Amino acid sequence: MKSDQEKGFVKQLKAGDPKAFARLVRENQDVVFGYLYRMLNSRHEAEEVAQEVFIAAFRFMESFRGEGSLRTWLLRIASNMYKNKIRYNVRRRRAWETGFDDLIERPGHRPIGQRPDSPEQIAQRNELEVALGKAIEALPEEFREVLVLRDIELHSYADIQTMTDLPQGTIKSRLHRARSHLAKLLGDQLEGEELKQ
Amino acid sequence: MTHDIIQRMDEEERFLAYLDGEFAPAEKKALEDELASNPELRVRFDQYKRTVELLGRIGPTKAPESFLNDVQTRVARRPIARPTPQIRFPFELVAVMAVLLGVLYMYFVWAPGDPGTILRASPPSIVRIELNHPLETDEIRGLGLESYGRASDGRRIYTTQCTTDSLAAWLKKRPEALIEPQNLLATPGRVKVLIVVPAKVEGSSKQPEGMRPQEKIETGTGVPVSNEPP
């Protein structure tokens, strides 16, 4: 059941209130962008598609029926737009170095109060993320989606079910296979991680 | 083969449940005991677990600082075609109207009797009636007659439109009337009536009904003197 506050917010959005729309973008931009970035493995493409997601949300706010959360609805739009992009555009094979550049300029996800990472730590993490990015990109699309939503974006199974329209059993099965596949692909890096720990 | 599939399904469910924290303490201990005694399973599980941990450490990605501004700029640049409120087309109403129109059509055009016959007889056929006496006021009023002018022989002509039923009823009191054509009265419908009566009427002082305003009254007769050419 949605709170009155959330219902009021949705009402403002449906009325085309620009302040409400700005709040919607601020509160969800990282989640939408993050999901698309992990799926597309390109900051530039992710930014472009994420902007389209919010523009579509603004234009078609009337179609939001309030069955799930706004965030889930936005991610569902993002998922559809991502699939459209893959389906209709010939995806350019980018050099992985571009991805590496992206990671260096990425603002990072350091929790509040934690000391800034040392250059060595940043380098190590970037190296790992590059390897992870490659491995994730190599996964079949249907496995990649559930892996990104569950293990990177940390959504609940119920939310993923709403976003993907998949039964929970299928989500879990795909997630397990994606993780197992990734574990095989990351074999060496995982050994290195073990040594670091 | 079947055993492998079952084993894989079992492993899948247990690994997922363990890492999702869905295991009861007894189930958790059972898996840990099995991992301790099965090195192959232990390797698979450790790799699996480390992969999940590694993915979790990536953490959420931040959108660019200018993201909100960029979106707002793009929204402002495009004309906002907000969907207009959907007006549901009232199919039920249209269906009811169509049926109603059909019934009315059948009633007025195809069904026998009044008032359908009124429409069916349109435009009205003409019935010519000759009387050998002038009309009294109540006779004129009874059929709603209006003066039409004079015939070439000087006789007065009255006209009206009415149903054949009402004309037949009116004519019952005037059996001497010559009716042409007679068969029209047998057909239910609306007819135009022309009644020709002798010009001179003796002993009546009342002005007949339906007389035109410009018509003069013949002194002592009550019959209008036409200003139309004979």
Q: Residue B210: pLDDT above 50?
A: no
By the 8 A CB rule, do B109 and B119 touch?
yes
Dihedral of CA A85/A88/A94/A96: which sign? positive
Q: Residue B6: pLDDT above 90?
A: no
Across all residues in chain B, what is the average pLDDT? Answer: 75
Distance CA B183, CA B180 (A): 8
Higher-pLDDT residue of B202 and B177 is B177
Q: Residue A185: pLDDT above 70?
A: yes
Q: Where are the alpha helices (DSSP H) in chain B?
A: 2-19, 25-37, 39-58, 67-77, 91-105, 116-120, 137-143, 164-172
Record: contact A109-B59, CB cut-off 8 A: yes
Q: Residue B228: pLDDT above 60?
A: no
* Interface of chain B toward chain A, CB-CB under 8 angstroms: 12-13, 15-16, 44, 46-48, 50-52, 54-56, 58-64, 67-68, 70-72, 74-75, 78, 80-83
What pLDDT, in 10s, does the model give residues A74-111?
999 998 888 887 765 544 544 444 444 444 444 444 43
Q: Which residues contact A78 (CB under 8 A, 6 or more apart)?
A: A32, A35, A36, A49, A50, A53
Higher-pLDDT residue of B189 and A147 is A147
CB-count burial class (<10 Å; 0-12, 13-18, 19+) for B75: middle
Sorting pLDDT into bands at 50, 70 and 90, what band is B150?
confident
Which token pair is B154? 């000087």
CA distance B4 to chain A (A): 15
Contacts of B12 in chain A (CB under 8 A): 172-173, 176-177
Quote the percentage of chain B above a pLDDT of 70.
Answer: 69
Q: Enter the ipTM.
A: 0.72
Across all residues in chain A, what is the average pLDDT? Answer: 78
Does A10 touch chain B if contact means CB atoms closer than 8 Å? no
CA torsion angle for A6, A7, A11, A13 (degrees, to 10)? Answer: 30
Record: contact B60-A106, CB cut-off 8 A: no
Contacts of B60 in chain A (CB under 8 A): 30-31, 34, 109, 152-154
Sorting pLDDT into bands at 50, 70 and 90, what band is A120?
low
Sorting pLDDT into bands at 50, 70 and 90, what band is A32?
very high
Residue type, B92: E
By the 8 A CB rule, do B110 and B116 touch?
yes
Q: Residue B127: pLDDT above 90?
A: no
Residue A132: what pLDDT?
A: 80
Does A14 touch chain B if contact means CB atoms closer than 8 Å? no
Residue B135: what pLDDT?
A: 84
Residue A50: what pLDDT?
A: 94
Which token pair is B190? 């609306």
Sorting pLDDT into bands at 50, 70 and 90, what band is B208?
very low
Record: contact A33-B56, CB cut-off 8 A: no
Which token pair is B115? 């008032």
Record: contact B62-A132, CB cut-off 8 A: no
Residue A56: what pLDDT?
A: 92
Does A96 touch chain B if contact means CB atoms closer than 8 Å? no
Contacts of A63 in chain B (CB under 8 A): 83
Does A134 touch chain B if contact means CB atoms closer than 8 Å? no
What phi-psi label fits residue B84: left (phi over 0), alpha (psi between -120 and 50 degrees) or beta? beta
Record: contact B58-A132, CB cut-off 8 A: yes
pLDDT (average), residues A22-46: 90
The pTM (predicted TM-score) of the whole model is 0.53
Q: What are B197's strand-pairing partners? A: B156
Residue type, A54: F
A-to-B residue pairs, Cβ atoms closer than 8 angstroms: 120
Q: Describe the strand order of the beta sheet including B156-163 as a list of residue ranges.
A: B146-150, B156-163, B190-197, B125-130, B178-180
Residue B184: what pLDDT?
A: 74
Does A107 touch chain B if contact means CB atoms closer than 8 Å? yes
Which token pair is B103? 């019934």
Quote the percentage of chain A above a pLDDT of 90.
Answer: 24
Residue B83: what pLDDT?
A: 52
Q: Which of A132-136, B113-117, B193-197 has the highest mean pLDDT?
A: B193-197
What pLDDT, in 10s, does the model give residues A8-31?
899 899 888 889 999 999 999 999
By the 8 A CB rule, do A108 and A142 touch?
no
**Beta B125-130 vs B190-197: how paired, if at all?**
parallel
**Largest alpha-carbon pair distance within chain A?**
56
pLDDT (average), residues B170-190: 80
Higher-pLDDT residue of B120 and B159 is B159
Does A174 touch chain B if contact means CB atoms closer than 8 Å? no
Distances (CA, A) of B93 to A183, B86, B90: 64, 17, 5
Record: contact A154-B56, CB cut-off 8 A: yes
Q: Residue B52: pLDDT above 90?
A: no
CB-count burial class (<10 Å; 0-12, 13-18, 19+) for B47: buried
DSSP B72: H
Residue A55: what pLDDT?
A: 92
Give the closest residue to B127 by CA, choosing from B99, B165, B91.
B165
pLDDT (average), residues B74-94: 68
**Beta B216-217 vs B156-163: how paired, if at all?**
unpaired
pLDDT (average), residues A106-129: 54
Contacts of A143 in chain B (CB under 8 A): none
By the 8 A CB rule, do A70 and A11 touch?
no
Distance CA B17, CA B24 (A): 10
Record: contact A106-B62, CB cut-off 8 A: yes
Record: contact A106-B61, CB cut-off 8 A: yes
